[in-house]
Amino acid sequence: MSADEANTSPLERIQRPEVSKETAKKIALVEEQFIRAEVEQLRQSTLLLRPLFEKRSEVIAEPDVRDTFWTRVMLNAPAEIEEYITMTDATILASTLKNLTVERFEIDEKAQGEPRSFRLTFEFRTGDENPYFENEKLVKEFYWRKQALTTAKGHKRTWDGLVSEPVRINWKKGQDPTKGLLDAACDLAEAEKKGGDRKKLPEFAKVIEKREEIEAAEEQEEDEDELPEDGPGGMSFFAFFGYRGSDVTAEHSQNATKEDNERFEKLLKGESVDGEEEDDDEDDDVEDDFDDIEVFPGGDELAIAIAEDLWPNALKYYVTDQSIEEVDFDDSELDISADEEEEEENDRPRKKTKV
């Protein structure tokens, strides 16, 4: 025990471990290996579980289940999803949502590809059965992309995460719960494709204006002490279809991924890599003007919660009665076994099953 150690209590030493740069690097490398192993497992399990998800789709297409399945699942969902669904959204979903599918579409039959990209397909009633919008399907694709960035001070960083394009909803007159925000996001993305500086586009100003309107309305509601029945920032769930994340192209991402893999391979071999010696500097940020135009911040978290939790655990959410307890409802009329209703919604194997 050094003289230094003798002066600190065991709890203090645990609260401030003095880890060398060298060891911190080793820790970071092993952690990256774990993350890569997790991605590989997701790749394998995506392929293995596909037949089971298909079987589930058949079961929930049964006439006595299909009309209520996905809405019930969404309303029983964990807080991280349910918080985004306003009462208005719930009413729209309850009367129109027919089906939901999640596909990790970049995984081929040999389990090759990026398993963190996925496609959400929402299917809806149409015509007179849908007083809200015209779309029969809303297809929202999320691509896992990596971006090579340079900080204000010239250091290299990478970002990786989900990017997506806004998906337009053809609202019937006066029915848009996003109050024009989703349309503005779609208009901006379309205008950007025609070229020009984003910030000079009139569609850019329109997105900012719509965001401010919604924030102002939300603040007023809060002042008036109304019931907080809206999602974060007063946002409708349907604004989620406007999520973009970032605008990393597939090509940029491929190059950044290739470079990153090379860096990782070098580290594995014990070779040194550029930039590794940099000090961390919390003030040395990457400029990101995407924050200004993101109409649904947290859209990536929500998308991941849908793909990683709601989708694989849908049967569990269907048979729980979490949201039901809050309303006047007689349990006994629900034709699902009591055992199943009482199940916890974690994803570890059940403790009790019936013979």
Segment 256 to 315, residues that bind its own copies, using CB under 8 A: 259-260, 263, 273-275, 278, 280, 282, 300, 304, 308, 312, 315
- For 80, half-sphere exposure in the C-beta direction (CA atoms, 13 angstrom radius) is 13
Binding to its own copies (CB under 8 A) within 98-157 occurs at: 116, 148, 156-157
Q: Which run of H or of E encompasses 119?
A: strand 118-124
> Is residue 23 part of the contact set for its own copies (CB under 8 A)?
yes
Q: Which residue has the tokens 């719960």?
A: 177
For its own copies, which is the closer residue by CB, 114 or 230? 114
For its own copies, which is the closer residue by CB, 65 or 250? 65
For its own copies, which is the closer residue by CB, 215 or 331? 331
**Which DSSP string corresponds to 300-343?**
HHHHHHIIIIITTTHHHHHH--TTGGGSS--GGGS-S-HHHHH-
> Is residue 174 part of the contact set for its own copies (CB under 8 A)?
no
- For 227, half-sphere exposure in the C-beta direction (CA atoms, 13 angstrom radius) is 3
Q: Tokens at residue 112, please?
A: 């090759």
CB of 248 vs its own copies, minimal distance in Å: 13
Query: Residue 169 CB: number of other CB atoms within 10 A?
Result: 22
Q: Which of 134, 136, 190, 339 binds its own copies (CB under 8 A)?
A: 339
Apex 120 CA angle, 234 and 325, nearest 5: 55
Binding to its own copies (CB under 8 A) within 179-218 occurs at: none
Q: Which of 2, 3, 4, 14 binds its own copies (CB under 8 A)?
A: 14
Instruction: Please say whether the beta carbons of 156 and 274 come within 8 A.
Output: yes
> Is residue 35 part of the contact set for its own copies (CB under 8 A)?
yes
Q: Which of 43, 72, 145, 211 binds its own copies (CB under 8 A)?
A: 72
Position 241: which residue type?
F
> Is residue 334 part of the contact set for its own copies (CB under 8 A)?
yes
CB of 182 vs its own copies, minimal distance in Å: 23
Q: How far apart are CA 76 and CA 324, in angstroms?
A: 8
Q: How far apart are CA 355 and CA 352, in angstroms?
A: 10
> Is residue 90 part of the contact set for its own copies (CB under 8 A)?
yes
> Is residue 32 part of the contact set for its own copies (CB under 8 A)?
yes
